Structure 1
């Protein structure tokens, strides 16, 4: 991971973004010596968002199981047949 000062980002934004898109290596932006933001390419961001959606769905499913909000396979087929008929 590369580290860049916020002032470098201001001066060399086009170059930094071009390199970011080529290498797909995140850039840590620092301000006053402290981490301020991460800069990542669009494809990596979209992959992260898809993973998060999947993990959130799994968490909702686990929560439903823990709360007893489940139906049998037969019950699920009966419910689905109403929508698919």
Structure 2
């Protein structure tokens, strides 16, 4: 992963963004020697957002199972019929 100072980003934003677009490699921005932000390609960011949504859905499903909020297959089909017509 590439690391850049925030001051470098301020001075060379166009160049850094062009390189990010080409390489697709995330850029860690540091401020006073500490991580401050990541620059990532738009497509990669959108993919990460979709993955996060899927993982959150799985986590909610696992929680529902642990709490006993489950239906039989037939019961679920019966309840879904009103939306699938």
Using the size of structure 2 for normalisation, the TM-score is 0.95
| Number of the residue aligned with 1:77 | 77
| Number of the residue aligned with 2:38 | 38
Displaced runs of 4+ in structure 1, greater than 2 A?
A: 82-85
Q: How does 1:5-84 map to 2 (within 5 A)?
A: 5-84=5-84
24-33 vs 75-84, greater mean Cα deviation: 75-84
In structure 1, runs of 5+ residues without a counterpart are none
25-34 vs 52-61, greater mean Cα deviation: 25-34
What do residues 26-68 of structure 1 show as CA deviations (whole Å, max 9, x unaligned)? Answer: 0011111111111111011001100100000000000000011
CA–CA distance in 2 between the matches of 1:11 and 1:34? 19
CA–CA distance in 2 between the matches of 1:6 and 1:84? 52
TM-superposed CA distance for 1:83, in Å, is: 2.9
CA–CA distance in 2 between the matches of 1:7 and 1:19? 17
Question: What secondary structure, in the 3-state scheme, does the structure 2 residue paired with 1:20 have?
Answer: helix
How many residue pairs end up in the alignment?
A: 85
Using the size of structure 1 for normalisation, the TM-score is 0.95
